[in-house]
Amino acid sequence: MNKLKQNRFLQQVWVRYFLVALVLAVLLPLIFGWLGISKTWRVGLLFMLINGCAAFMIGYRIQKTRAPWYHILYLPVLFALMVVVRYADYNYWFVPIYFLLSYLGINTAYERRK
């Protein structure tokens, strides 16, 4: 585990945010599908609750660590690609929602800093 923490590639900021977005936008929906969880629960629990809270926390952490703002785009873009590949068109509504929640997280962290 120490070797994993000391890996130079994983210490880069963009890699960590991209891996989190990859897990949230690609791996978790696939796991929920393989487990046979219904679409209603998948949309409600995963897309709304988990990904929504994660989008807010990503924005919050980006502001706290002073990472570049464009890291908030990883989750919405990967999710949009996943919708193209696998899900119904109404799921595109979550793309701007995730972006706005991330932006809200950035602004919340900024306001707390003052």
Is residue 11 assigned to a domain? no
Residue 53 lies in a domain: yes
Residue type, 26: V
Domain assignment of residue 99, given as a range: 25-113
Give the count of domains, the chain: 1
Residue 10 lies in a domain: no
Per-residue model confidence (pLDDT) at position 22 = 94
Q: Would residue 101 count as lying in a domain?
A: yes
SS3 99: helix
Angle 1-23-81 from CA coordinates, rounded to 5°:
145
pLDDT in tens, 50-86: 999 999 999 999 999 999 999 999 999 999 999 898 8
Kind and range of the H or E run holding 107: helix 94-113
Q: What percent of the chain has pLDDT over 90?
A: 51
Task: Label residue 5 by pLDDT band (50, 70, 90).
Answer: low
Measured torsion, CA atoms of residues 26, 58, 50, 114, in degrees rounded to the nearest 10: -170
Q: Is the pLDDT of residue 96 over 70?
A: yes
Specify the residue for token string 């799921």.
91
